[in-house]
Amino acid sequence: MLPKHVAFIMDGNGRWAAERGLERTAGHRAGTENIRGIIRHSKDLGIKYLTFYAFSAENFSRPAEEVGFLMKLIPEFFHREIRELTQEGARIQMIGDISQFSRPIQLVLSQAEKLTKHNDTIILNFALAYGGRQEIVRAVNQLLQSGKIEVTDQDISDALYTSGMPDPDLVIRTSGEQRVSNFLLYQSAYSEFYFTSIYWPDFSVTEFDNALADYQQRKRRFGGL
């Protein structure tokens, strides 16, 4: 069976650029260019949910110059892609602490959500200023503020950014790192992981197909037999 929800840790942009003698920023640019093909292919296959880890809460600790560049690249990506994404029937949702971005960026992000909120061919989550622990803490605080003194698994799921969506079946991380780096901690309890040494800008549709074929070989047991 194909996964319903695939999540990507889009890692390795910097090393992709360094290997070519380019600035890290060139890697980030190439990385954003790679997203379109992955979305299109997923749509063709009928994969309904995609989540892209684009900027972690911890990525704010990078040098100001790199963060500054990414703060330009992120709105630029949505400006450039929004028309085609709308035509493809994509619904765009941001997951993460968007309030950490400047007002103009927040506006671009919320416009992309607003413009696509009635689409439902494919649902695209962009994880921005996202941290899995922060998301859980936020959920718990929301539940406490609502007056709850005891919570269920469902209560927490419903208070996460991904409320109402299926958990990721498959999490793909590029660049050779084998860690989750604070991504979808609660939601990935039973996700399958696929690690590849390919850098994100080189993660082609063929590589994606390899990951999907690998996923299809797996036996998911969810603790059962």
Enumerate binding residues for ligand IPE (CB under 6 A): 9-15, 53-56, 59, 70, 175, 177, 179, 181
Min. distance of Cβ 34 from ligand IPE in angstroms? 11
Judged by CB, which is closer to ligand IPE: 2, or 98?
98
Told to judge if 158 belongs to the known catalytic residues of this protein, a careful annotator would answer no
DSSP-derived 3-state class of residue 173:
strand
Alpha-helical segments (H) within the chain: 13-19, 24-45, 64-87, 103-116, 132-145, 153-159, 205-217
Judged by CB, which is closer to Mg ion: 9, or 109?
9
- Asked whether the beta carbons of 171 and 3 are under 8 A apart, the reply is no
**Token pair for 106:** 């927040």
Q: Number of residues interacting with Mg ion: please give it, by CB under 5 A.
A: 1
- Asked whether the beta carbons of 75 and 33 are under 8 A apart, the reply is no
Min. distance of Cβ 127 from ligand IPE in angstroms? 7
Min. distance of Cβ 197 from ligand IPE in angstroms? 12
Q: Which does 15 bind (CB under 5 to 8 A by kind): Mg ion, ligand IPE, none?
A: ligand IPE
Min. distance of Cβ 59 from Mg ion in angstroms? 9
Residue 173 forms beta bridges with which residues?
A: 9, 195
Q: Please pick, from the candidates 11, 81, 135, 192, the single residue that binds Mg ion as defined by CB under 5 A.
A: 11
Q: Which does 161 bind (CB under 5 to 8 A by kind): Mg ion, ligand IPE, none?
A: none
Q: Which stretch binds Mg ion (CB under 5 A): 3-11, 28-36, 157-165, 197-205?
A: 3-11
Site for Mg ion in 142-201 (CB under 5 A): none
H/E segment holding residue 186? none
Strands 5-9 and 49-56: parallel
Q: Nearest-CB residue to ligand IPE?
A: 14
Q: Which does 203 bind (CB under 5 to 8 A by kind): ligand IPE, Mg ion, none?
A: none
Q: Torsion angle of alpha carbons 156, 160, 166, 169, nearest 10°?
A: -100
Judged by CB, which is closer to ligand IPE: 54, or 212?
54
Min. distance of Cβ 76 from ligand IPE in angstroms? 14
55 touches Mg ion (CB under 5 A):
no
Q: What is the DSSP letter of 195?
A: E
Told to judge if 59 belongs to the known catalytic residues of this protein, a careful annotator would answer yes
What separation in angstroms does the CA of 162 have from each of 148, 195, 199?
20, 23, 26
What separation in angstroms does the CA of 172 have from each of 9, 141, 150, 188, 209?
6, 30, 34, 12, 12
Q: Supply the residues annotated as catalytic.
A: 11, 59
Instruction: List interacting residues with Mg ion (CB under 5 A).
Output: 11
